[in-house]
Structure 1
Amino acid sequence: MLVPQEDILTLIPQRPPFVMISTLIESNETSSTTTFTIPSDNVLVENGKLSEAGLLENIAQTAAAGTGYAAQQNGAGVKDGYIGAIKNLEVFDRAKIGDTIVTTITIEDQIFDATLIAGSVKLNGQLIAQCQMKIFISSN
């Protein structure tokens, strides 16, 4: 399964210039994986590198893409989500313009409308960031 860049907006509520994923390359009931090639005009690029905020948004949008893909498969629409908490954030490096990062989220727990995820971002196979997030999905 591969959802290319031209179709990624069908899976997430975010719109340009605030899109931080390029393709959805895998999604199942417990995890999702995306790629993102850092463009030079990205709003969260600082000094030629994707900022920490950009890395966090990339992780959150990877979760959103997985949720959106599941919703599409069930004939439902994409819902808005909100980051409720970020825990144990570690940033080891930042990707520069033109780099392609691979981000994977794993669902650790789901309680009512809150989903607890672990996210990791890799560049050329090396871990550059990781964290846990609590994400709330809108009920409307």
Structure 2
Amino acid sequence: MKNYPEIETLIPHRKPILCIDKVISVEDLVAKTQYKIDEKALFCTNGSFSELGLLENAAQSSFVFLNFFLKDAKENLWSDGKDSIGFISHINSMTVNFLPKVHDKLLTTTTTELVFDAENLKICNVVAETTVNSELAFTTEMKMILQIREL
């Protein structure tokens, strides 16, 4: 199994909004990540991880893939001298089967397709699934946008 860098070197998020602990794998268009829900996480309420937290976890996982994809293309998204911002522009579908609890471990798989690639703008279609103890907790299909601005 490949060792991946610390998550903080791959995406700009930091606690309490960070929703990934580590990268399991990145192959082709698929990224797999893990997150053990911290009771101090921004998206925890009354011992449960919220719908918004599940969506944010999927979005962060897709940007893990995009970071690896663009590094292979010799483009660094989060380096000094760049002001990059990524956001969800459209949610096609979203299903929440159950809300995970504090200390549950999320395993999220995203398939990310880069559908538009310009110098300062990337648009991706993302399909994500999150499981907890092999049970499907969450699925979504969404469109993500990444804007890159040189400082």
TM-score, normalised to structure 2, is 0.83
1:13 deviates by: 1.8
Checking the alignment, whether the CA contact within 8 Å between 1:33 and 1:104 is kept in structure 2 is yes
Say which structure is richer in strand: 2
Q: Is residue 2:142 matched to residue 1:128?
A: no
Bigger shift: residues 37-46 or 77-86: 77-86
Query: RMSD of the alignment, in Å?
Result: 1.7
The corresponding residue for 2:92 is 87
Structure 1 vs Structure 2: percent identity of aligned residues?
27
**What SS does the aligned partner of 1:80 have?**
strand
Q: Whole-Å Cα distance in 2 between the matches of residues 74 and 101 of structure 1? A: 30
In the comparison of the two structures, how many residue pairs are matched? 138
Counterpart residue identity of residue 62, structure 1: S
Q: Whole-Å Cα distance in 1 between the matches of residues 72 and 62 of structure 2? A: 16
Checking the alignment, whether the CA contact within 8 Å between 1:13 and 1:80 is kept in structure 2 is no
Q: 1:72 to 1:108 in 2, by over 3 A?
A: closer
Checking the alignment, whether the CA contact within 8 Å between 2:15 and 2:41 is kept in structure 1 is no
1:109 deviates by: 5.6
Counterpart residue identity of residue 148, structure 2: S
Unaligned runs of 5+ in 2: 78-83
* TM alignment of 1:51-90, pairs within 5 A: 51-78=50-77, 79-90=84-95
State the structure with more CA Rg. 2
The corresponding residue for 1:44 is 43
Q: Whole-Å Cα distance in 1 between the matches of residues 113 and 66 of structure 2? A: 14
1:114 deviates by: 1.1
Counterpart residue identity of residue 66, structure 2: T
TM-score, normalised to structure 1, is 0.90
The corresponding residue for 1:139 is 148
The corresponding residue for 1:3 is 4
